[in-house]
Amino acid sequence: MNLPRPPQPIPGARSLFSLDPRMAHLNHGSLGAVPFPVQHAQRLLMDEAERDPRAFAAQVPTRLRLAREAVCPTIGADADLTAFVTNTTTGVALALHSLDLSSGDEIVTTDHGYPSIDFNVAAYTRSRGVVHRVAPVPLDASDDEVVDAVLAAVTARTRLVILDHITSATARLFPVARVSATLRDRGVPLLVDAAHVPGHIPADVAAVGADFWIGNVHKWAFAPRGTALFSVAPHRRERIRPLVESYGQASGFPESVEFHGTDGYTGWIASPAGPAILSQLGLERVWRHNSELAAYGQAVIAKALNTDPADLGRPSPLAMRLIPLPEGVATTQEAALALWQRIRDRLRTETAVNCWNGRGVLRIAAHVHNGAEQYERLADGLPGLLAE
């Protein structure tokens, strides 16, 4: 196997983070990493709130609106159709809460979906007698095959399709715009789980045209954790019902979703500082660096394990890549969790290990704080660890 060349590090990028240098953080996709300037921006807001809590609280709705107006252009979303929420899971719960489905109606997801999304769908369907249909999508499916698989699960009773833009467990890029257009012609609403999109790849919420779009800003776009954007189509705006009715209720969406009186808003207000750092580093340069480094990491680890990822060597904008583990390794989620812990403890490397459809898979990620030597270190140590 001919290894691709890793990219040159972006000068000064690693010094932006407080990550433990003794650990190789190859799992940026799970929790992200907050740069020093963003930490500082939030800390200043926390200090301001403690100096005069009542005055700070009175300014929260306005400052949330200004923060939304600053961040929404980075994802191509209308700030008046978008609200801050804690994470994608919360956004999915909010979308389901705003639907009026009844017994016999159907919700369609795929077998690449995120577990907590399925938890919410399961709870909703149980309480209302709604049917949950899961569309199987092969790991190596082409875009055409993804579209066909989703549409094959859609029936006359389908009232919502939930589709990942970038899948979490399997690191796949799904053609959400194509699915959106087809479902729109059929009158079927679409919810796009874009948890991994902001800051990772170019985003254009308006162009996708989904009924609901939810993306985490705290994963790849450097915002404080607990920062996501929930965006809706214009015809959905008046139908959004907040999970908790509070002081923003009278203003309607998005304020009704965002403002609950006493809450910790400093992360949302500080969130524009995250995408601003990406812009200063150069978005195109960051995207190119990250995708090339992830491809290198995938290749060097796959070579060490003698496995063959379906997308190995294929051009991809993604900064997350999947490496199938040898047969018999991590064949349950419990075994996958145990292997993740061993990799952390023994190889001092943070990764994501999952069991997908009975097959153990290793997911790696790359951002500007990573370097080629970290993937090489994992490749050197992993075969021996698995052999034990």
CATH label of the domain that carries residue 135: 3.40.640.10
Structural domain boundaries, residue 255: 38-276
- Residue 240 confidence (pLDDT): 97
Distance CA 197, CA 217 (A): 8
Query: Which element (helix H / strand E) includes 36?
Result: helix 36-51
2 occurs within a structural domain = no
Chain mean position to CA 188 = 23
Same domain, residue pair 82 and 229: yes
Query: Which element (helix H / strand E) includes 341?
Result: helix 333-347
Cβ atoms of 197 and 166 closer than 8 Å: yes
Cβ atoms of 290 and 318 closer than 8 Å: no
Same domain, residue pair 182 and 295: no
% pLDDT > 90, the chain: 94
Give 106's contacts (C-beta < 8 A, 6+ positions apart): 130, 131, 132, 133, 155, 157, 158, 159
Same domain, residue pair 272 and 335: no
7 occurs within a structural domain = no
Please work out, in degrees rounded to the nearest 5, the angle formed at the alpha carbon of residue 228 by the alpha carbons of 224 and 232. Answer: 160
Cβ atoms of 114 and 141 closer than 8 Å: no
Same domain, residue pair 107 and 146: yes
Same domain, residue pair 246 and 298: no
* Residue 370, domain CATH: 3.90.1150.170
User: Given 228, 259, 276, which residue is the final one in a domain?
Assistant: 276
Same domain, residue pair 381 and 242: no
Give 299's contacts (C-beta < 8 A, 6+ positions apart): 1, 3, 4, 312, 313
Same domain, residue pair 74 and 210: yes
Please work out, in degrees rounded to the nearest 5, the angle formed at the alpha carbon of residue 50 by the alpha carbons of 48 and 55. Answer: 70
Model confidence over 74-99: pLDDT tens digits?
999 999 999 999 999 999 999 999 99
Same domain, residue pair 215 and 350: no
User: Given 216, 241, 276, which residue is the final one in a domain?
Assistant: 276
- Residue 250 confidence (pLDDT): 87
Same domain, residue pair 227 and 299: no
Same domain, residue pair 133 and 247: yes
Tally helices (H) and strands (E) across the chain: 14, 12
Same domain, residue pair 269 and 290: no
- Residue 262 confidence (pLDDT): 87
283-305 vs 273-281: helix crossing angle, rounded to 10: 80
Model confidence over 129-177: pLDDT tens digits?
999 999 999 999 999 999 999 999 999 999 999 999 999 999 999 999 9
Closest by alpha carbon to 298, among 384, 379, 199, 200? 379
Same domain, residue pair 117 and 173: yes
Place 43 in a pLDDT band, splitting at 50, 70 and 90.
Answer: very high
Closest by alpha carbon to 361, among 294, 297, 302, 295? 302
Cβ atoms of 212 and 189 closer than 8 Å: yes
Place 128 in a pLDDT band, splitting at 50, 70 and 90.
Answer: very high
Round to the nearest angstrom and report the end-to-end CA distance of the chain: 25
